[in-house]
Structures are given as C-alpha cells and as structure tokens.
C-alpha cells in the first residue's frame, strides 16, 4: 500500500516558492497515479498552536489555501483535500500519543526549537505549540500514511512520529504504520529565496510572489528584484551568482521559454552575455516576467473560476473531510482496541 499524506498551515496565501518546492511535485504525483490513497490536509488546528490569538487569520486562509490547491491543479477526484480541525479523531489520537513522548524530547525537536527562538517565546511557550509534533504524528498515522512529502524542515517531525509509532506498537501491539519523508529534489527550487535575495521566501518578510498575484503585481515585484548592485551600466560585466533574476530563471525557465521571450537560445547563452556585459537588467527582468506570467496564467484562470464558484470549493472541502474522517475513525477504533479502552464493543 502506498498512502500519501501532506499538508500546509493556513497562515497566508501560497507563493511561487511553495509552487516549485512542493505543489508542482504534488500535482505530478497525483497525475502519475502511483499510489493507493492521497490526502492533502489544511492544518488549521496546527496553525492555531502559534496563532491562537488570531483565529481570523487562520479561518480566512483555510479558503485561500484551498483555492491555491485547486488552482495549481490538485484534483479532488484524485486527492482527498480536507480540514484538520473537522476531523476530531486527530485530536483524540493526539491525547493518547502524548503519553508516549517526554517533555524533554519535545524540547529537543530542532524545528520547534528554531520556531521558539524566532518567535521569542522562550519559556512562555504554549503547551499546545510544544506538542504539535505529536499532533502531526496523529495526522500521519490516522491515515496509515507511509509517504509524507515535506520540506527538509519537517524531517524532525517525521523522526518523532516514527518514535511514537515504535513506542505505541511496542507497548500496545502492532497497530500503527511507520512513515518516510519524501524531500523535494536538490537545487534552488528547494529553498527559493525571496525577491530581495536575502532570505527564503516568506510572508512575514514580504519578499514573496504569490500564486494569486495579478500580472501587474508580478511585473512590479520582478522589476524590484535584487540583481547585481555593481552592474550599473549595461556594458558592465554582471554577476550571475546571487542575482535573483537568474536564480529564478534557473528554477522557472526552459530553453523553449527562453527562446520564446528573448533573443537567446538558452539560459546559458543569456548568462554568458550578461557576465560579459551588454545585457541590461530591465531586459532580463522582462524575460523572467513573461515566463512567470506564462506559468501563472492557467493558475490564475482556475483560481478565478473557483473564486466565482466558492460553493463548489466548500463542497469539495466538505466531501474530502467526510472521507478523511471515516478513515481516521477506523484507525482510532484500532488504537482504542489496542490500548483496551474499547469498552462497549
Ligand atoms: N507542519 C507542516 C508545515 O508547517 C504542516 C503539517 C501538519 C503536515 N500536519 C502534517 C505536513 C502532516 C505533513 C504531514 O508545513
């Protein structure tokens, strides 16, 4: 059996970094059909663990993320798209799994540690936030998922999930399934920097190009992209390394697209000219702009359709959630039986 589960916290619109880092692969995976079940979860309950004081933000973004999923081509007839908080079995599983992990183990999780540092939470960390790797274990095991496509920051979660699975099976008998992370392919696509070239694309820094940005917004953002500060006159030699326009072209362009939108036959040719001098920033930015818009156009079109048919989106989420709940309920029953708290069966 090949059961795939992955998800996102709904804390903002998804951007082109998400697209090349994970969404594109999910759609490919979906269309290849080499799996038995495919679940995509909108992790609103997890988003609340560090946004409990801003539920409005989480609520609004549930629909935004659903729109992003559908507009990139995730297909509800192949993938079960659902809302985490609507599957209460996940919370119940979390409660039993919490007994199988120590506070000090939770505090050692490097991703959680990083997040605590970034948010200056220190010792005032909410118990729910510290516990989210356990809740993520419930997300994965409830569906008996054995394949979890995630970014590399999620590896500690997978490791902790498997530890909990091992403990559970050892103490209560073989019940839960171990899982394996699938990471995106090597290269810049894995951590697409923001348009400022400073950090990974991130909503809080404000350096993102969103899947929902219109043409004019994309144009403005590309025109403001960090290139080579020493490339002042067109004839000056320009640097490729660290130049965001080329970093993005590396990720988004193909030779066909380069031929279509520039006077060059390949990206390498274009880079060569830029390095030697004689190719202006505005020209290369226009090429990138056209390529991004060509990729984003069909996504925008689908989004527009679904924005005008929100009731369809709600229906998709409802149906997906029902299906997810059924499966999670079966697992919860097995878990309670294994522990011996299935009194009325
Ligand atoms: N922690 C993941 C993220 O921040 C989201 C997530 C929640 C998830 N539950 C999951 C991912 C289960 C994979 C499997 O992106």
Give the helix/strand (H/E) hosting 82.
strand 80-83
CB 16 within 8 A of CB 192: yes
Lowest mean pLDDT among 145-159, 193-207, 233-247, 306-320: 193-207
Q: By C-alpha distance, which of 217, 279, 198, 211 is closest to 267?
A: 279
Distance CA 63, CA 309 (A): 12
pLDDT, the chain, mean: 95
pLDDT at 173: 98
Lowest mean pLDDT among 19-23, 50-54, 327-331: 19-23
Statement: residue 66 has pLDDT above 90: yes
Cα distance from N-terminal residue to C-terminal residue, the chain: 28
Check if 4 has its Cβ closer than 6 Å to any atom of ligand 1: no
Q: By C-alpha distance, which of 321, 294, 325 is closest to 83?
A: 321
Q: For atom 5 of ligand 1, which residue has the closest CA?
A: 8
DSSP one-letter code for 80 = E
Task: Write out the two tokens for 32.
Answer: 């290849």
Number of Cβ atoms within 10 Å of the Cβ of 158: 20
Q: What's the 27 CA to ligand 1 centre distance in angstroms? A: 17
Task: Write out the two tokens for 169.
Answer: 């099976």
pLDDT at 199: 86
121 or 7: which leads in pLDDT: 7
Q: What's the 5 CA to ligand 1 centre distance in angstroms? A: 9
State the pTM of this model: 0.93
Distance CA 333, CA 331 (A): 5
Statement: residue 21 has pLDDT above 90: no
pLDDT over 70 percentage in the chain? 99
pLDDT at 205: 86
pLDDT at 119: 81
Distance CA 248, CA 250 (A): 5
Check if 46 has its Cβ closer than 6 Å to any atom of ligand 1: yes
For 47-69, give one letter per residue: b (16+ CB within 10 A) or e. bbbbbeeeeeebeebbbbbbbbb
pLDDT at 188: 67
pLDDT at 286: 97
Backbone angles phi, psi at 210, to 5 degrees: -90, 150
pLDDT at 123: 73
60-69 average pLDDT score: 97
Lowest mean pLDDT among 121-130, 132-141, 210-219, 235-244: 121-130
Check if 135 has its Cβ closer than 6 Å to any atom of ligand 1: no
Q: What's the 153 CA to ligand 1 centre distance in angstroms? A: 10
Check if 142 has its Cβ closer than 6 Å to any atom of ligand 1: no
Q: By C-alpha distance, which of 329, 274, 328, 279 is closest to 5?
A: 328
Check if 5 has its Cβ closer than 6 Å to any atom of ligand 1: yes
pLDDT at 186: 65
pLDDT at 345: 87
Statement: residue 103 has pLDDT above 90: yes
Q: By C-alpha distance, which of 267, 279, 186, 291 is closest to 227?
A: 279
CB 2 within 8 A of CB 35: yes
Check if 148 has its Cβ closer than 6 Å to any atom of ligand 1: yes
Residue range 144-203, pLDDT digits in tens: 999 999 988 899 999 999 999 999 999 999 999 999 999 877 676 778 899 999 888 888
pLDDT at 80: 98
Q: Which residues contact 158 (CB under 8 A, 6 or more apart)?
A: 140, 148, 150, 179, 180, 181
Is beta strand 3-8 parallel, antiparallel or unpaired with respect to 37-42? Answer: parallel
């Amino acid at each position: 059996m090949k059961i795939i589960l992955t998800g996102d916290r709904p804390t903002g619109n998804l951007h082109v970094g998400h697209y090349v880092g994970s969404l594109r692969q999910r759609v490919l995976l979906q269309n290849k059909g080499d799996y038995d079940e495919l679940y995509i979860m909108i992790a609103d309950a997890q988003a609340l663990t560090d946004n409990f004081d801003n539920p409005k933000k989480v609520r609004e973004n549930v629909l935004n993320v659903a729109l992003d999923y559908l507009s990139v081509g995730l297909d509800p007839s192949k993938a079960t798209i659902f809302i985490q908080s609507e599957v209460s079995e996940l919370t119940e599983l979390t409660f039993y799994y919490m007994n199988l992990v120590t506070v000090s183990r939770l505090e050692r999780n490097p991703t959680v540690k990083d997040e605590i540092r970034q948010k200056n939470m220190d010792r005032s960390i909410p118990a729910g936030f510290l516990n989210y790797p356990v809740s993520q274990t419930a997300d994965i095991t409830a569906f008996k998922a054995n394949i979890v496509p995630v970014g590399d920051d999620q590896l500690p979660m997978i490791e902790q999930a498997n530890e909990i699975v091992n403990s559970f099976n050892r103490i209560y008998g073989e019940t839960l399934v171990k899982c394996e992370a699938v990471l995106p392919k090597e290269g810049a696509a894995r951590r697409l920097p923001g348009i400022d070239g400073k950090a990974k694309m991130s909503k809080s820094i404000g350096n993102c190009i969103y899947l929902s940005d219109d043409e004019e917004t994309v144009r403005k953002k590309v025109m403001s992209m960090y290139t080579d500060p020493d490339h002042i006159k067109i004839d000056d030699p320009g640097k490729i390394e660290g130049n965001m326009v080329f970093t993005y072209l590396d990720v988004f362009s193909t030779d066909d697209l380069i031929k279509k939108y520039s006077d060059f036959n390949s990206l390498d040719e274009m880079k060569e000219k830029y390095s030697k001098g004689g190719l202006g920033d505005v020209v290369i930015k226009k090429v990138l702009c056209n390529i991004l818009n060509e990729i984003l156009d069909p996504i925008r079109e689908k989004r527009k359709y679904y924005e005008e048919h929100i009731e369809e989106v709600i229906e998709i989420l409802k149906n997906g959630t029902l299906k997810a709940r059924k499966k999670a309920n079966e697992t919860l029953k097995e878990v309670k039986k294994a522990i011996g708290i299935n009194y009325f069966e």
